[in-house]
Amino acid sequence: MISRFCFLVFVLFLFGSSSNAIPESEVKSICIKTQNPPFCVTLLSSNPNATIAELTQNTIDIARTNVSNAITLIKKLIDESEKNPKAKGHYKACLDHFGEDGALGDVDYTQELLKKGDFQGVNVAAASITDDVEDCISGESPTDPAFDDHSSLPSYAIVIESVVSVLLVLSKHLGH
Ligand X SMILES: *[C@@H]1O[C@H](CO)[C@@H](O)[C@H](O)[C@H]1NC(C)=O
Binding to ligand X, residues 56-115 (CB under 6 A): 62, 65-66, 69
Binding to ligand X, residues 8-67 (CB under 6 A): 48-49, 62, 65-66
The least CB distance from residue 48 to ligand X, in Å, is 5
Among the residues of the chain, which ranges form H helices?
Answer: 2-17, 24-31, 37-45, 52-80, 85-98, 103-116, 119-138, 153-174
Q: Which residues contact 75 (CB under 8 A, 6 or more apart)?
A: 95
Among residues 10, 127, 159, 172, the one that binds ligand X under rule CB under 6 A: 159
Binding-site size for ligand X (CB under 6 A) equals 8
Quick one: angle between helices 52-80 and 85-98, nearest 10?
Answer: 160
The least CB distance from residue 120 to ligand X, in Å, is 25
- Site residues for ligand X per CB under 6 A: 48-49, 62, 65-66, 69, 156, 159
